[in-house]
Amino acid sequence: MNTLFDTLGYFFIISLELIGLFLIISTIVGLILMHISEERLRKRLAGKGLASNAIAGLFGAVTPFCACSTIPITAGFLQAKVPFGAIMSFLIASPLLNPIIIGMLGAMLGVKAAILYFVVAFVCAILFGFLLDKFGAERYDKNIRIKGELSASAHEERRTWPWLRKTVYAFRDSWDNLRPILPYLFIGVALGAAIYGYLPGDFVMEIAGENQLMAIPISAVLGIPLYIRAETAIPIGLALLGKGMGIGAVIALIIGGAGMAIPEMSMLAGLFKRPLVAMIVAVIFLTAVTAGYVFNALA
């Protein structure tokens, strides 16, 4: 009974923490995005070299997009003739550097862990976006375009609203974004609570402890079919960390779940040919493995 009570307590506490973090961070980001000029952003992205990759990666980092919004924005960038490398950097950074993920990691693992995660994922997004462009991956674009602007036509009007109205709107928008993912969040927390309460720590140490060399790539691959949202993977990874799983394997699991989600890969297949989709999967896998080993080395 004590184990059951501990498990239920874990479920309710982590659920409340994650929901609160999501709403607060998403509201703040929503307020920031009201003051970003899309026209200026497009002009900045139209530059050449690593600078445009870095700007695109930062844009992906400050926008809490899921696949349903990342893909249309990617199509809009393609239509606007934004450099292909910058588009790839955005596409890589958007799911991995989601501010919700960074905020959750900072709250659960500490600020240093969140900063390290951001730096590694950001550098990988810039580097791999640049390399995909140099390797000529643009030839695998299907030339499918989605009509319309990157955001609502009322964006300029919202910038003139009073702060209270902006805050209320951003909070409501955050809640609308949270509702569809609540089932996945609760599933992840429930699985994490079960792991926290019942999975033997010795078993986890033997399979995915810090001294297990293959734990990181295996964890990255496991993220693909098991976790279709990072909000689901994070509570599970935290529970596994508490049971003795290496920090590098946990980070690889989160990146694999966030960046190689099956629904997102399916939507990408509508924009790009299979070779490029495979390249993107390989890039996310390499990012997950790189981040995992960096965390193990510096932890």
- What pLDDT does residue 124 have? 93
User: What does the domain layout of the chain look like in residue ranges?
Assistant: 2-298
CB-count exposure of residue 12 (10 Å: 0-12, 13-18, 19+): exposed
Please give the pLDDT value at position 296: 85
Q: Compute CA distances 9 → 193, 201, 205, whole Å.
A: 8, 19, 24
Pick 239 or 168 by higher pLDDT. 168
* Token output for 286: 């390499």
Tokens of 71: 């893909």
Q: Provide the pLDDT for residue 29.
A: 65
Phi and psi (nearest 5°) for 272?
-125, 155
CA dist 148 and 151 (Å) reads 8
Amino acid 149: pLDDT: 47
Check: CB of residue 3 under 8 Å from CB of residue 185: no
Stated as kind and residue range, the H or E segment containing 180 is: none
| 211 SS3 class | coil
Give the tokens for residue 59: 């844009």
Using an 8 Å Cβ cutoff, are 192 and 235 in contact? Answer: yes
- What is the Cα–Cα distance from 244 to 197, expressed in whole angstroms? 13
What one-letter code names the amino acid at 281?
A: V
pTM of the model: 0.69
> Which of the residue ranges 27-41, 49-63, 116-130, 155-169 would you say has the lowest mean pLDDT?
27-41
What is the reported pLDDT for 127?
94
Among 146, 144, 135, 158, which Cα is nearest to 38's? 158
Lowest mean pLDDT among 8-22, 221-235, 284-298: 221-235
pLDDT of 147: 47
- pLDDT at position 291: 92
Give the per-residue pLDDT at 121: 92
Query: With contact defined as beta carbons under 8 Å apart, do 130 and 283 qualify?
Result: no
Residues in CB range of 135: below 8 A, 6 or more apart = none
For residue 77, pLDDT over 50 is answered with yes
Measure the CA–CA gap between 299 and 286, rounded to whole angstroms.
19
**Weakest-pLDDT range from 63-72, 148-157, 217-226:** 148-157
Angle CA(27)–CA(30)–CA(36) in degrees, nearest 5? 155
Task: Give me the residues paired with residue 28 across strands.
Answer: none
pLDDT in tens, 261-294: 665 676 677 778 889 989 998 999 999 999 999 9
Distance from C-alpha of 81 to C-alpha of 243, rounded to nearest angstrom: 48
Residue 243 has pLDDT above 90, yes or no: no
DSSP state letter for 272: B
